[in-house]
Amino acid sequence: MTTVVAQGTFDLLHPGHLHYLREARSMGNELHVILARRSNVTHKEPPILPDTQRREMVDALDPVTEAHLGHESDIFVPIERIDPDVIVLGHDQHHDDDAIRRALADRGIDCEVVRATPHETDDEVLSTGRIIDRICKQRCG
């Protein structure tokens, strides 16, 4: 059995999220998704939705075996618990692939780290920030 981990914020689910999770699931038999806690999101605006609500929504998606909230201070704690064969990073996530590989090796976690492909689209809104901008433009102005 091949266990895959995907991770992210998953605020305001959209087709780009679903593409990422479907692709990650295609790489194994089980897909575990780790959701960043609001308190740990520092590289962009914090999520609009509460941690538990985002976890519940992702957990309900067909490709997902189980969704987990990330650890409060150490992002590798749930990865150690899940012990994946593959970690799939989103195509546009800010992570340094090589730094993650080194951190995994330092912790004795033997798994592959790969990048998902972008979702090919014409006109869809595929980022939470763009969805929020569109809502504000159409409803708040």
**Residues at the annotated binding site for ATP?**
9-10, 14-17, 92, 119
Neighbours of 118 (CB within 10 A): 13
Buried b (16+ CB within 10 A) or exposed e, 60-85: ebebbeebbbbbeeebeebbeebebb
Question: Rounded to whole angstroms, what are the CA distances from 126 to 17, 22, 90, 118?
Answer: 8, 15, 13, 10
Closest alpha carbon to 65 in 132, 138, 140, 1 = 1
CB within 8 Å of 132: residues ≥ 6 apart:
12, 48
Known binding residues: 9-10, 14-17, 92, 119
